[in-house]
Amino acid sequence: MKVVPSRRVQSIGAYAFAEVDREVARLRERGVEPIDFGVGDPATPTPDIIVRAVEEAVVRRAAAGYPRYTGAPEFRRAAVRWFEKRFGVKLDPEKEITSTIGSKEAVFNFPEGFIDPGDCVIIPTPGYPPYTRGTIFAEGVPYHVPLLEENGFLPDLDAIPVEVCERAKLMWINYPNSPTGTVAPPEFFKRVVEFGRKHSIIIVSDEAYTEIYYGEKPHSILEFAREGVVVVQSLSKRSAMTCYRVGFVCGDERILDIFKKVKTNIDSGTATFIQDAAIAALGDESHVERMRREYHTKRDIMVDAFKAAGLEDCTPEAAIYIWQKCPPGITSLDFARALLADDVAVVTTPGAWISDRTADGLNPGEGYVRLALVPTIEETKKAAERIRTLRISRLGT
Ligand SMILES: Cc1ncc(COP(=O)(O)O)c(C=O)c1O
């Protein structure tokens, strides 16, 4: 019997990090231990208050019945309380919020509720890959808008062709932005809301990084509108809970109704004891402050090192990444390879690999490497020492 993957699965490219994985394995064989800024998974242990809450909840909830698809009422109430405290936006815990299994499942499955074959989804690039993959699996057509330095890494809404606006049902935005570290100003959120209303496009705002910031607190789009708008939130980065898989989607009740119908048919909700841990996490800000300080320290160490090596200052305002410009004339892949040399051994992700080409053939990630600030402070200092000694001229500028 021949086993044939669907066209959707076939359309997914090879694992982009395979080459980096091979290089890392070669370094290890030669006895060099690389410092890994590649994948954005925090190595910070999940805070004690959360671990204790889950331990206690597993024992207390003796019956292991199915969780509610849309989250336990106490989780939804805790999330709503947190959202109001943080953003000043009051939500109805019954109608305007649902729990999700981390935010990835929400991002990937969301288009199922709204996209018919051929409908467009406007997606920023570089951007989180499930925006595109979820669109393709729902038989939609991704339209990639580039995030460019000259536009402050915000999508240029005026440059989106009218035909695309007419065919589009959804638009993804993501601020604080992964990977550029940009925080969007209130005017941008207002303009996007206006754009969505004008063209009847639902705006989905991925706000997974609102709690990791280095200056002013980032805004939520729900501070500016609710009609036609939903937010995707996650505990993963805020509370170092990537393994726990818990987040929520909130906003326009009509959109939530449709998304909840999709979810009810796809999954069976986040485990209740994990929701209990999330309630404990949402009730505590001190661990988030500690985490922010740690990321801030690591950001400063790495930014200073790149500047000392003669590279452009690419200080991010938020999120856990540095979107570092390569030396002029060097591709993102060549720069990532140079950083993997034995005497540097710093793992980064070439920007070109995490960006989609736009309709005019541009790859906006070319010319950048991404560093996820996930190693420890000690490892970060070690990496910075090695980067300071980088001889940019040796790289062929
Ligand atoms: C922009 C963005 N959104 C969402 C996610 C998903 O996170 P999770 O599924 O852990 O909530 C990530 C993960 O790295 C991300 O970078």
Note the pLDDT tens digit of each residue in 339-354. Answer: 998 889 999 999 999 9
Out of 41, 103, 108, 180, give the residue to mutate to test ligand 1, the one with the largest number of ligand atoms within 8 Å of its CB.
103
Note the pLDDT tens digit of each residue in 110-156. Answer: 999 999 999 999 999 999 999 999 999 999 999 999 999 999 999 99
299 shares a domain with 221? no
Note the pLDDT tens digit of each residue in 18-75. Answer: 777 787 888 888 888 899 998 878 888 899 999 999 999 999 987 778 888 899 999 9
Q: Quickly state the pLDDT bin for 15 (edges 50, 70, 90).
A: low
Note the pLDDT tens digit of each residue in 356-380. Answer: 999 888 999 999 999 999 999 999 9
Q: What CATH number does the domain containing 64 carry?
A: 3.40.640.10
Last residue of a domain, one of 232, 258, 282: 282
Q: What sign does the CA torsion over 21, 132, 229, 225 have?
A: positive
Q: Give the model's pLDDT for residue 82.
A: 98
Strands 202-206 and 168-173: parallel
Q: Is the pLDDT of residue 194 over 60?
A: yes
Ligand 1 site residues (CB inside 6 A) read: 40, 102-104, 107, 128, 174, 178, 206, 208, 234, 236, 242, 247
Nearest in space to 71 (alpha carbons), one of 94, 105, 89, 104: 94
* Residue 79 covered by a domain: yes
* Residue 145 covered by a domain: yes
Q: Give the model's pLDDT for residue 26.
A: 85
Q: Give the model's pLDDT for residue 30.
A: 86
Q: Quickly state the pLDDT bin for 292 (edges 50, 70, 90).
A: very high
**Residue 125: enclosing H or E segment and its boundaries?**
strand 120-125
Q: Is the pLDDT of residue 393 over 70?
A: no
* Residue 2 covered by a domain: no
The atom of ligand 1 lying closest to the CA of 107 is: 4
The atom of ligand 1 lying closest to the CA of 100 is: 11
Closest-CA residue, ligand 1 atom 15, reads: 128
Q: Is the pLDDT of residue 13 over 90?
A: no
CA–centroid distance, residue 30 to ligand 1 (Å): 34
55 shares a domain with 179? yes
135 shares a domain with 110? yes
* Residue 34 covered by a domain: yes
C-alpha 234/C-alpha 211 separation (Å) is 10
Last residue of a domain, one of 240, 265, 282: 282
Residues 205 and 232: beta-carbon distance below 8 Å = yes
Last residue of a domain, one of 258, 282, 306: 282
372 shares a domain with 255? no
CA–centroid distance, residue 229 to ligand 1 (Å): 19
Q: What CATH number does the domain containing 344 carry?
A: 3.90.1150.10
200 shares a domain with 248? yes
313 shares a domain with 220? no
265 shares a domain with 142? yes
* Residue 227 covered by a domain: yes
324 shares a domain with 244? no
The atom of ligand 1 lying closest to the CA of 105 is: 9
Out of 37, 41, 99, 107, give the residue to mutate to test ligand 1, the one with the largest number of ligand atoms within 8 Å of its CB.
107
Average pLDDT, the chain: 94
146 shares a domain with 157? yes
* Residue 264 covered by a domain: yes
Per the structure block, which two tokens stand in for 332?
């993102």
**3-state helix, strand and coil shares in percent for the chain, rounded to the nearest 5:** 40, 15, 45
Contacts 24+ apart (CB under 8 A), 338-345: 338/390, 338/395, 339/369, 339/387, 339/390, 340/20, 340/23, 340/24, 340/27, 340/34, 342/27, 342/30, 342/32, 343/386, 343/389, 344/386, 344/387, 344/390, 345/27, 345/32, 345/33, 345/34, 345/35, 345/386
305 shares a domain with 242? no
Nearest in space to 107 (alpha carbons), one of 131, 124, 135: 131
Domain count, the chain: 2
Tell me what the mean pLDDT of segment 254-273 comes to: 95
Out of 39, 128, 249, give the residue to mutate to test ligand 1, the one with the largest number of ligand atoms within 8 Å of its CB.
128
* Residue 13 covered by a domain: yes
215 shares a domain with 113? yes
What range does the domain containing 88 cover? 48-282
Full DSSP string of 276-315? HHHHHHHT--HHHHHHHHHHHHHHHHHHHHHHHTTPPP--
Nearest in space to 93 (alpha carbons), one of 221, 201, 253, 232: 253
Q: Is the pLDDT of residue 395 over 70?
A: no
CB atoms within 10 A of CB 290: 11
* Residue 1 covered by a domain: no
Q: Phi/psi of residue 143, each to 5°?
A: -115, 115
User: For the whole model, what pTM was predicted?
Assistant: 0.95
203 shares a domain with 90? yes
Q: Is the pLDDT of residue 199 over 60?
A: yes
Residues 6+ apart with CB under 8 A from 347: 20, 24, 34, 35, 36, 37, 38, 339, 340
